[in-house]
């Protein structure tokens, strides 16, 4: 969907920043006091349960990160949803996700049973995603603590879809950020407050292309947390977009951002980690001022309506460890691949790791990416 002009964005920014002080206590109560509720889940497939653990350490926080997820859409037809016999299509990843303290990813759809279509679908091709509550519950079962909703599909079903999505996430204690209605969030793990804010060049999102807005939000949120994570949805799409270019990327007539400039600006403003999605293929990683940037984690679980020909089916699960002071101590990639209509399975060919390692070296000269499957 093309981004609507935000004629009100500067007024909104001023108003929202003034209100942040008032809502800070509420967010900290929601994220800092409640913390993360443990989820006891017997692994669905015991044969892939890691033999070793990504052990919890008192002085660090471990994080699992994946890219785009859309586990099923009832639009334009419920026949596009996974069959009940399939079960939770995230089940092969759950044992690996549960080895870290927190789990985050990109929610590439609205969550609603019946929100009406808002997106203009009069053209020959239209991609609009509405995940019913029954299927969205799989994110909770998988243990996701944070889902980014700053992307080009969160507004496919207009404000009813956004409101239903926010209601679902709140009910399931899943933090989120990036919409105008819920711009940032926090959670607390072992006395460490982690802040989240996300950006995208799309409707109802914090605008990735508005430098002053980006810096203003980071400046306001950074003092509220120990570690600040920025998520973005930007860049061109498709198999030809694996390399991270310099300058702004145009796609379907829309400015999808200068992602290098954006990521560096976020770190200059105070971010500790920057994670990206949007191109539907993996991109390289880089270390800027000793802070990690993942420019695209590609697709992870995108069911039925996505192009999943190689390399679009390459599905990394990144795991990092970071100190309370924001120092990166570990960075690895566990390789999955999407099979069938879009179900992630462990990839013993290690394609995600190989591609990210190669792209990181070619584009940035960065070599500190390790193969997560060597641990298991």
Sequence ranges of the domains in the chain: 9-375
Classified as helix, coil or strand, 16 is helix
Please compute the mean of the pLDDT values over residues 361-369 and round it to a whole number. Answer: 97
* Residue from 311, 309, 249, 273 nearest 63 by CA: 273
Residue of higher predicted confidence among 14 and 196: 196
Give the pLDDT score at 30.
41
What is residue 56's predicted lDDT score, i.e. its pLDDT?
58
Task: Name which of 145, 144, 135, 77 is nearest 110 in CA terms.
Answer: 135
pLDDT above 50: residue 17: no
pLDDT of residue 256: 97
What mean pLDDT, rounded, does the chain reach?
A: 88
Q: What pLDDT score was predicted for residue 287?
A: 98
Task: Compute CA 148 distance to the chain's CA centroid, rounded to the nearest angstrom.
Answer: 5
* pLDDT tens per residue, range 201-239: 999 999 999 999 999 999 999 999 999 999 999 999 999
C-alpha–C-alpha distance, residues 136 and 143, integer Å: 12
Read off the pLDDT band of 18 (50, 70, 90): very low
Q: Are strands 110-111 and 130-131 parallel, antiparallel or unpaired?
A: parallel
Per-residue model confidence (pLDDT) at position 3? 38
At the topology level of CATH, where does 9-375 sit? Purple Acid Phosphatase; chain A, domain 2 (3.60.21)
pLDDT at 32 over 50: no
Q: Residues 276, 68: contact at Cβ < 8 Å?
A: no
C-alpha span between 337 and 354 (Å, rounded): 13
Q: Range with the lowest mean pLDDT among 254-258, 304-308, 372-376?
A: 372-376
pLDDT band of residue 115 (cuts 50, 70, 90) is very high
pLDDT at 14 over 50: no
CA-nearest of 182, 111, 188, 123 to 153 is 111
Query: What's the pLDDT score for residue 59?
Result: 86
Instruction: Say if residue 52's pLDDT is above 60.
Output: no
Indicate if the pLDDT at residue 11 is higher than 70.
Answer: no
Share of the chain above pLDDT 70, in %: 84
Average pLDDT over residues 105-121: 96
| Average pLDDT, integer, range 34-45 | 34
- Count CA within 13 A, CB hemisphere, residue 94: 21
């Amino acid at each position: 969907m093309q981004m609507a002009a935000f004629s009100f964005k500067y007024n909104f920014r001023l108003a929202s920043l003034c209100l942040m002080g008032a809502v800070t206590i509420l967010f900290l109560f929601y994220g800092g006091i409640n913390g993360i509720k443990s989820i006891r889940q017997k692994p669905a497939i015991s044969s892939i349960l890691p033999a070793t653990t990504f052990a919890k350490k008192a002085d660090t926080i471990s994080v699992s990160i994946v890219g785009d997820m859309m586990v099923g859409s009832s639009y334009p037809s419920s026949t596009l949803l996974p069959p009940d016999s399939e079960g939770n299509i995230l089940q092969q990843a759950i044992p690996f996700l549960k080895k870290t303290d927190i789990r985050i990813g990109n929610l590439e759809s609205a969550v609603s049973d019946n929100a009406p279509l808002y997106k203009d679908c009069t053209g020959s091709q239209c991609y609009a995603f509405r995940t019913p509550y029954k299927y969205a519950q799989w994110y909770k079962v998988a243990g996701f603590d944070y889902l980014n909703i700053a992307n080009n599909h969160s507004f496919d079903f207009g404000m009813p879809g956004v409101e239903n999505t926010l209601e679902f996430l709140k009910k399931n204690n899943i933090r989120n950020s990036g919409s105008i209605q819920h711009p940032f969030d926090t959670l607390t793990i072992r006395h460490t407050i982690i802040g989240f804010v996300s950006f995208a060049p799309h409707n109802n999102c914090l605008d990735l292309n508005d430098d002053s807005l980006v810096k203003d939000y980071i400046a306001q949120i950074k003092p509220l947390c120990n570690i600040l994570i920025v998520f973005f949805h930007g860049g061109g799409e498709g198999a030809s977009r694996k390399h991270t270019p310099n300058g702004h990327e145009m796609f379907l007539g829309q400015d999808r951002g200068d992602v290098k400039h954006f990521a560096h600006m976020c770190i200059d403003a105070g971010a500790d980690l920057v994670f990206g999605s949007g191109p539907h293929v993996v991109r390289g990683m880089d270390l800027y001022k000793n802070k990690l940037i993942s420019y695209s984690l590609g697709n992870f679980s995108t069911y039925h309506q996505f192009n999943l020909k190689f390399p679009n089916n390459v599905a990394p699960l990144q795991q990092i460890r970071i100190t309370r002071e924001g120092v990166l101590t570990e960075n690895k990639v566990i390789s999955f691949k999407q099979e069938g209509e879009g179900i992630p399975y462990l990839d013993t060919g290690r394609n995600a790791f190989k591609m990210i390692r190669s792209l990181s070296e070619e584009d940035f000269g960065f070599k500190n990416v390790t193969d997560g499957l060597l641990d298991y």
